Amino acid sequence: MKIKKRAIVTGGAGFLGSHLCERLLQLEYEVLCVDNYFTGRRANVEHLLTNTSFELMRHDITFPLYVEADEIYNLACPASPVHYQFDPVQTTKVNVMGAINMLGLAKRVKARIFQASTSEVYGNPAVHPQPESYRGDVNPIGIRSCYDEGKRCAETLFFDYYRQHNVDIKVARIFNTYGPRMHPNDGRVVSNFIMQSLKGEDITIYGDGMQTRSFCYVDDLINGFLALMSAPRDVTGPINLGNPGEFTMRDLAEKTIEMTGSSSKIVYLPLPEDDPMQRKPDLTLAKRALEWEPKIRLEQGLAETIKYFEKYVYE
């Protein structure tokens, strides 16, 4: 009888976590999904509960976790400004204390551990596109700092555990990702635009709409996670994972209106503090070290995401 690998996914009931749990089960892992439901939702993993290789645990990783595992995926953290600014102290705690607790667990059980870091570590970048060697331009005392600096500190901890305790680490810097199971009210641009379009409401763009983002479909991103986790031990990262296709906010709004057949109008509001003007991954390292790059075009991914969000409006 084949012995299955055991994986822990913190934040496993969230948008990315639920897709990762699903894929790991398909790869015949035993999966422990850990979530405190601050932004994650049980509904995201309900369809997995009948799988005997899947277990769901309500737990906050700012407290230690005493379990066994071969691999740990640390995804726990609210990822949208609306959610992480709601309780900034807790956001910093989950990034820093959560990382310490998960790294301590990885050290104890000798597990390989993955950190879901973020392109936000680059802040409002002066280099474009952003390579992993760029150290960023981050405001340490702004309203986004709980997330930006929290993730930067988590990366520091991962590399200190790697150097000091020889923990087997993998660090991915995730760029904007979208797809089914995004929270409909998370305040992120794709979910905002789709929900506003489907309801026929004005689409709100902050600033002049010329700031750019790169959007990666969730299936591509999960492939990147798995490629990094299966890479040789010396491929620690940080490695950018995202889609280099670059779109202005105005482009995205117009495309969303067109694809939903909406009558929504675009309105412009002031730009929030420290909102970056451009964001695009340099994927040179991911292509070379992981032989990974995204395959799914924005139109294809948006069509799947719109289909998912339609149930919130029409059912």
Catalytic positions, written as ranges? 147
3-class SS at 221? helix
| Rounded Cα distance, 234 and 163, in Å | 12
> 180: cis peptide before it, omega within 30°?
no
What does each C-alpha distance from 36 to 58, 127, 169, 307, 309 come to in angstroms? Answer: 5, 37, 24, 28, 24
Q: For 252, which DSSP code? A: H
Q: Tell me how far apart the alpha carbons of residues 39 and 10 are, in angstroms, rounded to a whole number.
A: 12
Amino acid at 98: G
**Spatial CB neighbours of 261, under 8 Å, sequence gap ≥ 6:** none
Classify strands 6-10 and 212-214 as parallel, antiparallel or unpaired: unpaired
Check residue 247 and report its DSSP letter: E
Phi, psi of 281 (to 5 degrees): -80, 140
* Residue found under tokens 């700031």: 211
Q: What is the C-alpha to C-alpha distance for residues 203 and 212, in angstroms, rounded to an integer?
A: 17
Largest CA distance in the chain: 60
Distance (Å, whole) CA 42 – CA 21: 13
SS3 content of the chain, % helix, strand, coil (to 5): 40, 20, 40
Q: Among 51, 55, 101, which Cα is nearest to 76's? A: 101
